[in-house]
Homo-oligomer: A and B are copies of this chain.
Amino acid sequence: MQTTNRQLRLQSRPKGLLAPGDLQLVESPVPELKDGQALARLKYLSIDPTMRVWMAADTYLPAVPIGEVMRALGFAEIIESRHPDYKKDDRVTGLTGLQDYVLIDASAKQFFQKVPKIPFVSDTVFLGVLGMNGLTAFFGMEIAAPKKGETLVVSAAAGATGSIAGQIAKIHGCRVVGIAGTDDKCAWITKELGFDAAINYKHPDWKEKLAAATPDGIDIDFENIGGEIMQEVLSRMNLHGRVVVCGFISGYTKADPNMVSLGTVIVKRLHIQGFLILDYAARSMEAATQLGQWKMFGKLKDRETIVEGLEKAPDAINMLFTGGNTGKLIVKL
């Protein structure tokens, strides 16, 4: 066992994309185990847009304090335990932080849960389809309540959450149109995931293409991006349409807030609902069971973008905002 724990600590709050030094790699001793504690070694780190929010300000969780290990979800294996609930080789997911080793004790237990070893399924599924992204897509679709024949548009459609949300909408019989930022991503969501259409918003005529792909208007917007893309989707909403706001990724790296004109909200009698997955913690097993079943029967496909090495985590975070990943973005340790 190593005696050094590498950690990425937040040294300064980024402006825009992360700059070198915003997260600083620091070596510290692996903590010594006391009674009631378990030590876990990180295998995978989940890289998510919300991390950029955690770096910036107190929102739904307090901002990560300067000098502390950067908050992140991860997958880890217990390597030593003096905790009654964990034994060596148990596998857990939770808020591990960006580091090699994490100490689990009673106070932190609520943030960790044990996960099983599933044959033929990658461990990383617990960070993606069966993790925060899958649960976010599942409960977001519960709020959206998609009905057969309705048209749903999802932005960041080739991202970890959007790609699952769109597939769930397909399971419910919707016409699903995804918005993404490369032709490769568009090809993936239509050819492999079965979306009915995909719009590359970097093409100059994307608005016309969105109109052509939604001939009956849009009943549901599963919104991940905000800004100009959301504005265009709002303009095509049908009467009494639903907008489920999962994220505003386009705004997370900008100093000016993510402005949208809401005039259509009255005219179209729109229902806009923001949500956070942490409100659904008590129902995570219900969602994971359904998601696991869909995955087992081939109804939910996923893809991963794997980056190797803890030191690459800052670059990986930036990839989320520059369109560098398709599907779930993981740092492998």
Q: Please report A residues at the B interface, Cβ cutoff 8 Å.
A: 59-60, 226, 245-248, 251, 257-276, 279
Alpha-carbon gap, A276 to B263, bound state (A)? 12
Alpha-carbon gap, A269 to B261, bound state (A)? 19
Contact partners of A272 in chain B: CB under 8 A = 262, 265, 270-273
From A60, A257, A274, residue with most partner B Cβ within 10 Å:
A274
Q: In whole Å, how far is A321's beta carbon from the nearest beta carbon of chain B?
A: 16
Contact partners of A269 in chain B: CB under 8 A = 273-276, 279
Q: Are A263's CB and B258's CB within 8 A?
A: yes
Once A248-B262, A259-B260 are accepted as A-B contacts, the answer to whether A274 and B267 lie under 8 Å apart by CB is yes
Closest to A61 in B: B267
Q: In whole Å, how far is A236's beta carbon from the nearest beta carbon of chain B?
A: 15
Alpha-carbon gap, A246 to B267, bound state (A)? 10
Q: In whole Å, how far is A139's beta carbon from the nearest beta carbon of chain B?
A: 11
Closest to A247 in B: B266
Contact partners of A259 in chain B: CB under 8 A = 259-261
Contact partners of A258 in chain B: CB under 8 A = 261-263
Sample of 18 further A-B pairs with CB below 8 A, known A257-B263, A267-B276: A60-B266, A60-B267, A226-B262, A245-B266, A248-B263, A248-B266, A258-B261, A259-B261, A260-B262, A262-B274, A265-B274, A268-B274, A269-B273, A269-B274, A269-B276, A270-B272, A271-B274, A272-B272
Closest to A270 in B: B274
Contact partners of A261 in chain B: CB under 8 A = 257-260
Closest to A279 in B: B269
Alpha-carbon gap, A274 to B240, bound state (A)? 9
Q: In whole Å, how far is A159's beta carbon from the nearest beta carbon of chain B?
A: 16
Contact partners of A257 in chain B: CB under 8 A = 261, 263
Alpha-carbon gap, A275 to B247, bound state (A)? 24
Contact partners of A276 in chain B: CB under 8 A = 266-267, 269
Alpha-carbon gap, A143 to B55, bound state (A)? 36
Q: In whole Å, how far is A24's beta carbon from the nearest beta carbon of chain B?
A: 27
Alpha-carbon gap, A260 to B231, bound state (A)? 11
What would be 15 A-B contacts, judged by CB atoms less than 8 Å apart? A59-B267, A245-B262, A245-B265, A248-B263, A251-B263, A258-B261, A258-B263, A264-B274, A265-B272, A266-B274, A267-B274, A269-B274, A269-B275, A270-B273, A271-B274
Contact partners of A60 in chain B: CB under 8 A = 266-267
Q: In whole Å, how far is A71's beta carbon from the nearest beta carbon of chain B?
A: 16
Contact partners of A264 in chain B: CB under 8 A = 274
Alpha-carbon gap, A7 to B279, bound state (A)? 57
Alpha-carbon gap, A91 to B59, bound state (A)? 56
Contact partners of A226 in chain B: CB under 8 A = 262
Q: Are A271's CB and B268's CB within 8 A?
A: no
Q: In whole Å, how far is A51's beta carbon from the nearest beta carbon of chain B?
A: 15
